[in-house]
Amino acid sequence: MATEAVFRTCAQTGLRVHNHAERLIKVHAVAGVFSILFGGIAAILVLLTRWPAVHLLDPTSFYRALTFHGINMLIFWIIFFEIAVLYFAGPIVLGSRLAWPRVGWLGFALMVAGSVLIDVAILAGRADVMMTSYAPLQAVSYFYLGWILFAVGALVGVCNFFASLVVARAERTYEGSIPLVTFGAATAGIIAVVTLAHGAIIYVPTWLWSLGIIQTIDPGIYRLVWWGLGHSSQQINVSAMVTIWYLLATLTVGATPVNEKVCRSAFLLYILFINLASAHHLLVDPQLSPAWKIWNTSYGMYLAVLASMVHGMTVPASVEVAQRKKGLTKGLFEWLAKAPWGNPGFAALALSLVLFGFIGGITGVTFGAEQVNIISHNTLRITGHFHATVVAGTTIAFMGLTYYVVPLIFRRHLISVKLATTQIYLFAIGMTIFIGGMTTAGSYAIPRRHWDVQFTSSIFQPPVEAAAFAFLGIMGVGGLFALAGGALYVVITVGSVLFGRRVPDTAGAVPLAALPQDRGQHVPIKGTLVLVFVFLASFVIYYFLNWKWLAAIWIIK
Amino acid sequence: MSLQTLKGVWWKKVDASEKIWLAIALLWCLILFAMMPLWHLKGGQNPSFETYRTTPAQYMEKVEAFVESGPKVGEEKGLPVIAPDPAQDVYMLGRLWQWYPALKLKKGETYRLHLSSMDLVHGFSLFPLNLNFMVLPGYEYVLTITPTTSGEVFVVCNEFCGIGHHQMVGKITVE
């Protein structure tokens, strides 16, 4: 096989690119963009129904659109893109061939087949079960088969990545230790294996149950194992997103991690602890003890949170050091003020980091405290939280990276860099407003996954505070901005791939940040330290406010 | 840079400014961890861990016995309203798409509230109090609750349970 591999040398980065790896990156990225397009169309319908002033769809269409939105966004968009990231971070970064090109195509075909089966089942009205399909709620059997095919396909992609690491090592395509980006991607890959194994463990029996071969599925066990897939799949995102932060920092300002040992140790903490957080979904379930809940919801003892807090410092620190080395040394924040804010990659890095940390991270840890979950579970607070992590965090990072994938992998210039930058800001601002409205509405007990919070068709009409409706309206307005930003992303990406000017094979055709000269001097990270302490203060305030709110409800034990 | 392989000894000493953040972040993580067991000892709101295996049929019998023994103090929208004595166990069930029966409780009294589902997974959400628990078929969950506010609160289902999910609203009145 090794002799058959065809390589090109990238004129921009100097990387050796195996043609099969590159093609697989392209098709996975395209599938990802299709998924975000489908999920985005459903998002319009869901948003305009949950906005009480509009209340667009009938109940059946709403629940169907919501199921479709959740799966296409949280599973297909994210995982297709992540497999593309793995094919880049493994064989291409290491200059190696992809271990098994044909197997790579098989994996992709399985993922596509699975996602088509699932989408068809939902659109045909045979799977109005939400993303979670909590047994004994039952969908048509080919819906579960679709999940199995998709999970196996993704697993094949992950294994191909690991095999390529082995090949690169064996064929000595690099010397020393693997780069941080490959290391981070390997972390995401390991978490993905654990996640997809849970998917197989839960969906195989559920599939057999839907065929009538197994009689019952215990709803408590189902929830326990399903979240090993459902939450952990979002932890692949965390690892992949942090990896992309480091990558974007390098591409946009020429940043180098301040201390590789610290960054890599933090990734190791993710591997060890982050998947315990699937317990976040089970904190007010009957089937588990407080000891189990506390240990697991805290990721051990919040050691995965520690890891994120470390990355939250080391990523901006790497940017600060690079900028200061370029002479931007005035005061605390000249390095930040004069950062390349007009570069969509940098804007995406900064906004993804801030929104993920300040909103997604803080709300996630707070709502994931065993008792605080009583005043958060299954309300819009939860959906607000994960739109901050997966959309404002992961998706913005993926969008920023796309604007490098298009010129470097598809070798087409963006149709407009300015428009791409505008897209990132529009999407981020829209999402921030949306998340603020949604999370706050949730603190008035507004439930998630609910067609009518005015309860017009139920026997009782609970009074809903006017403020809750106001926040749902804010959510609606923010959502429209975010949808415009999302649509723009699809337009720019598809437009550039189809109609963008070809990138010539000459060095410098795609502007990449130069590495600043290292004179061996000690560079302070004062600005970063100020930022992380502002973060900590926000965290402490929000966390204890929630305990105060909790103490105000009925006494319960 | 994050795309380069590392050669030689790259595991350098950690800088003092990084160490400060690492230490403080770790300390904060331990505080986060300590809050949960502390609240079990000192706090008033903790998820119950009193759970029994049951079946929809068994649980239905208990609920029926509870509704019959009463005291029934009225009927609202077709639901019996039961005003139980705090000494007796209180039962409620969730089913497509109803919380049964309605309850009348006294402020400041402590009740043992049993919950289970007859069919699918439901979410027991006291609205607009914002107090949420999961209700699973096959599991009998016992919450020990003390209402501290009076007035009407509603039981909204906050886990998707089919097409009538949003219609599933029950009622608890507190005097």
* Identity of the residue in B3, B33, B163 whose CB atom sits nearest the CB atom of A63: B163
Q: Is A455 exposed, middle or buried (0-12, 13-18, 19+ CB in 10 A)?
A: buried
- Which token pair is A68? 């479709």
Task: Compute how many other C-beta atoms are within 10 angstroms of the C-beta atom of residue A6.
Answer: 10
Share of chain A above pLDDT 90, in %: 97
- pLDDT tens, residue by residue, A320-349: 999 999 999 999 999 999 999 999 999 999
Q: Report yes or no: A181 and A246 within 8 Å, Cβ to Cβ.
A: yes
Backbone torsions φ then ψ of A57, nearest 5 degrees: -85, 165
Closest CA to A448 of A118, A135, A45, A46: A46
Does residue A503 have a pLDDT over 60?
Answer: yes
Q: What pTM, to 2 d.p., does this model score? A: 0.96
- Which token pair is A45? 């319908």
**Which pLDDT does position A39 carry in this prediction?**
98
- pLDDT tens, residue by residue, A275-315: 999 999 999 999 999 999 999 999 999 999 999 999 999 99
**Which pLDDT does position A3 carry in this prediction?**
54
Average pLDDT (B102-117) is: 98
In the numeric block, the tokens 């071969």 are attached to: A213
The verdict on A219 touching B (C-beta cutoff 8 Å) is yes
Spatial strand order of the sheet with B122-127 comes to: B72-76, B79-82, B102-105, B169-174, B151-157, B122-127, B131-135
Report the amino acid identity of residue A116: V
Distance from CA of A342 to the nearest CA of B (A): 22
Does residue A538 have a pLDDT over 50?
Answer: yes
Q: Report yes or no: A79 and A49 within 8 Å, Cβ to Cβ.
A: no
Residues in chain A with CB shorter than 8 Å from the CB of B79 are 459
Average pLDDT (A511-537) is: 92
**Which pLDDT does position A209 carry in this prediction?**
98
Contact at CB, A261 and B10, closer than 8 angstroms:
yes
**Which pLDDT does position A521 carry in this prediction?**
79
* Distance spanning both ends of chain B, measured CA to CA: 66
Average pLDDT (A129-137) is: 96
Helices A526-551 and B16-42, axial angle in degrees (round to 10): 0
**Residue of A16, A294, A377 best to disrupt the B interface, most CBs of B under 10 A:** A377
Bridge partner list, B157: B124
At residue A1 the predicted structure's pLDDT band, cuts being 50, 70 and 90, is: very low
**Which pLDDT does position B84 carry in this prediction?**
97
Residues of A216-238 as b/e, b for ≥16 C-beta within 10 angstroms? ebbbbebbbbbbbbbbbbbbbbb
**Which pLDDT does position A522 carry in this prediction?**
86
Backbone torsions φ then ψ of A368, nearest 5 degrees: -85, 0
* Identity of the residue in B26, B36, B126 whose CB atom sits nearest the CB atom of A294: B36
Pick the residue from chain B with its C-alpha nearest to A90: B3
The verdict on A459 touching B (C-beta cutoff 8 Å) is yes
Backbone torsions φ then ψ of B52, nearest 5 degrees: -130, 150
**Which pLDDT does position A520 carry in this prediction?**
77
Does residue A109 have a pLDDT over 80?
Answer: yes
Pick the residue from chain A with its C-alpha nearest to B120: A136
* Identity of the residue in A290, A303, A553 whose CB atom sits nearest the CB atom of B131: A553
Average pLDDT (A114-119) is: 98
Average pLDDT (A3-14) is: 88
